Structure 1
Amino acid sequence: MDLLQELETLAVVVDANNDYDGSFNELFHAPMPMAMAVPNEQPSAAAGVPDLKSTYLVKLECPLTTPAMVQELAGMLHLPQQVDGSGDAGDASFCFVNGTEKSAITAALAGTFKPTFIRINRAEKALDCNSPAPCLNHDATLPHHRATDDTQTFLPGQSQYPAWYFFYGTLASPEVLIDKLELDAPPTLCPATVQGELRTWGGKYKALTDGVDTVDGWAYEVTSAAHEDVLRYYETDQYEVVRCAITMTHAAETVFGLTFRYVGACD
């Protein structure tokens, strides 16, 4: 699947003040304000999701033509990643930015140009290499939780595979994993628990948050970044990937793994 097809399926094209009802392919034409929501089984919780937790693609188009220009206007420390896509209407290039950087670009170009932003509707994953952050039920940003020397390692790493994940909702269904990950055989799910609190949002959707309860679920070993990306898109940006301690019920052992923590407003 090329970038255009993936975005058409998974992304939300947004503009702060305008709606847009045209074809997704028009992204590859002249710049115009856009906002197009992709149908989703789950109700929108955009108002409850911090903008900083959202990831966007900004289209490279005149006058915003290079990653270096994006970096300068957004005040980024590093050059943003560029991705290229193609469709029936032609080719286009994009850079990844977060919500804060999106706001900075919009403010810098206010009154002169409206850049095209595409919100990537997937769970954020930003694991710190110098602390346990972000971590379920644990304020990993406190100074005494940070690395004490250069040799200290916090697991799992940002790009470490395989990695154990704790599932507590629909992802704990073998049928869902087989369908979403296109597995050839039933997945191996291990009974497990984490410390936290299981709540709801939207009247019925499960939301794992920080807490002191024992939450029952299942542990599954994610073997690749490709599989992880599918799961992140499935959970949407209403969740974030966080580190956690997973206790395997049958083996009576604890492993360092990951789970999806809800970032919106619960019921």
Structure 2
Amino acid sequence: MRKAYWPQLLLLLLISGLCFPFTFALACGPSHPPAGAPAPPQVTATSPVNGATATLPLKEIIIVFSHAVSPCTSYGDIALRDGQNQALSIQTKIDDRQLTIYPQQPLQPEATYRLIVPVSAVSDMYNQPNIPAFELTFQTAAGPRVLLNQKDLAFTDAQPFFCPKIEQLLVPLRAVSTTLGAPIRWDGATQSAIISYQDRQIRLTPAQKQAWINEQPRQLSNAPVLFHDRLYIPLPAVQELFGIAVTWDEATQTATITTTAS
């Protein structure tokens, strides 16, 4: 006697009818939006603007679309590339119409960068993807100059930058310490940096004004800053911590550090 398979077939059709439309609704690509739907999302504004020279540090790149968007099939292919076409590590976030790209490493001064938002990186509520692809090219400005004993201090990784909030230059602690011949290490237990310079044992913690020199508390004018996993200190703190002379020339954007006792 032949078995009746129609109950299983009916169940399969029912599941297909419930699930497949939902699956298709999640997909991005050509669609048939209802009458009156807006055109596919277009870029209406960016920061920085295309061809601009951006001041460092550049914490985020902002792309604004014509209407609200969400991630689409090529969202993971959004890329930020340097002048050698090397991709940089980034994180991305969408909030309504705004796509924000966060570089995960410091950008270099006087360099060219290119942001690529491919077709179908985002789509609107009607599953209409962004078309065509969008590219944004910008340059970074020259950074402040730092002289140590009248010689330019080389910054191969983290770069100094001016912080408007405290109106002071922030310099990478490791670059300064290394150039001074002062060993530096990170103490994970106390979440602090420890530097040995001449007869000084220096300990300082991100976001805390109180530092320690030879186990004695020393109040800094402004706290160290942790940015992109690099520790920066305000320029006056170089003098406060290491006991060396520091000056700042606003007109030439030049900091001068001299290793003589202050």
TM, length-normalised to structure 1: 0.28
Tell me which protein shows more helix as a share of its residues: 1
With normalisation by structure 2, the TM-score equals: 0.29
